[in-house]
Amino acid sequence: MGLTSNTVLALAALLAALLFVATVLLWPRLAGRNWRAVLGRVALLLVTQLLLFATLGLAANKSFLFYGSWTDLFGQETELGVVVDHSAAARDITVVDKQGMDVPGGTKPKVGGQIQKIVIAGEKSRIAGQAYVYLPPEYFKPRYADKNFPAALVLTGYPGTAENLLKGLRYPRTAHTQAQAGRMQPMILVMLRPTVAPPRDTECVDVPRGPQTETFLAEDVPKAVSETYRVGTRARNWGVIGNSTGGYCALKFALHHPATFSAGAGLSAYYRAAEDPTTGDLFHGDDRARKRADLMWSLDHVKPSNTSFLVTSSRHGEDNLEETQRFVAKVRPPARVSSITLDNGGHNFGTWRREIPAAMEWLSCRLRAS
């Protein structure tokens, strides 16, 4: 039973409930002042509290995927790092693992598609980062052998992991389900976290004399993917979507790189780069770069392009509603903007899972295979 399985969580919750009932029932028998009674009370309270905290911890980990397995939790993960050669002759993408999909028949690529774990070596940025690529079933079928597919860059928040996009937010499963139902076209998903220099949060900025995060994500990654998989190189072939920090990055890339991305979707996004202890000095006194990282400023000062934006918020539970409405009001033609506004929804996976199916359908309608 895996650390993130429903069975483990249900078992922990059941044991905690049973021990709570046992504590209530046995307490009168342990009311004495002898050492056995005292020890019994202490043991019951201690074990009940431990199981309660374990249940809460398992629930939190299942939602946010801080740890993916028992070995990861106990520091016993033995997977070794992959050396990436940055010489001119080196490949930009190295496939290090392949896995099937958690759908009926998902072990067969022609039925469920395939998820590939890759390492991307950034040609311009000199950054190497891990990602997951979802290839839809059609990618492996003979009649599509000469066909290109649209692609979407999918970004987590900070300090999330790429695994969150697979297990927590279920992007591949959603894309598979939506495509099989005819609600969106088959798409390739390139899923990764924007934290390229952990634990630092670089806010998808090219930091002077530091990580060139924007160059890596907005230039190197699409180029490497288009050279490795059957994806076109035009803006109409590429979209970008993300949540929280990833949502900010998605909107920024669509705004500042219209030649690469024709559409950007920000789920619970914010609209200017954070500057705090997790980011360090992002701009090194460059006021122009700081203003450029403010999407409201950019909408006022960057020439509008034929780009589509999608923003999401909630009337109750999110604190970005007012700024999201300001963003919508500032978008000028020929750019277009759409929005999703929930009545209730916090800044969490549950909210984003409610928005992702519609957001993926919206993105699919704005991309072309070739």
Give per-residue pLDDT as tens, 174-228.
999 999 999 999 999 999 999 998 889 999 999 999 999 999 999 999 999 999 9
Average pLDDT for residues 335-339, to the nearest whole number?
96
Share of the chain above pLDDT 70, in %: 91
Q: Is the pLDDT of residue 168 over 50?
A: yes
Which of 6-15, 71-80, 184-193 shows the lowest mean pLDDT across its residues?
71-80
Average pLDDT for residues 26-33, to the nearest whole number?
77
pLDDT at 23: 82
Distance CA 320, CA 157 (A): 15
Which residues, in sequence order, are CB contacts of 183 under 8 Å at separation 6+? 357, 361, 364
CA angle 264, 269, 273 (to 5 degrees): 100
Shortest CA distance to 326 belongs to which of 305, 309, 347, 345?
A: 309
The answer to whether the CB of 328 falls within 8 A of the CB of 337 is yes
By residue count, the chain amounts to 370
Shortest CA distance to 123 belongs to which of 228, 205, 201, 202?
A: 228
Q: Is the pLDDT of residue 37 over 90?
A: no
Helical axes 349-365 vs 171-180, angle rounded to 10°: 50
- What is the value of pTM for the model shown? 0.79
Q: Is the pLDDT of residue 18 over 80?
A: yes
Average pLDDT, the chain: 89
Confidence band (pLDDT; 50, 70, 90) for 47? confident
Distance CA 117, CA 97 (A): 5
**Residue 262 φ/ψ, nearest 5 degrees:** -95, -10
Shortest CA distance to 211 belongs to which of 226, 232, 194, 188?
A: 194
Distance CA 248, CA 293 (A): 10
Q: Is the pLDDT of residue 76 over 60?
A: no
Shortest CA distance to 241 belongs to which of 363, 326, 119?
A: 363
Evaluated on CA atoms 225, 352, 196, 77, the torsion sign reads negative
Residue 75 burial (CB < 10 Å; 0-12/13-18/19+)?
Answer: exposed
Shortest CA distance to 320 belongs to which of 349, 341, 291, 302?
A: 341
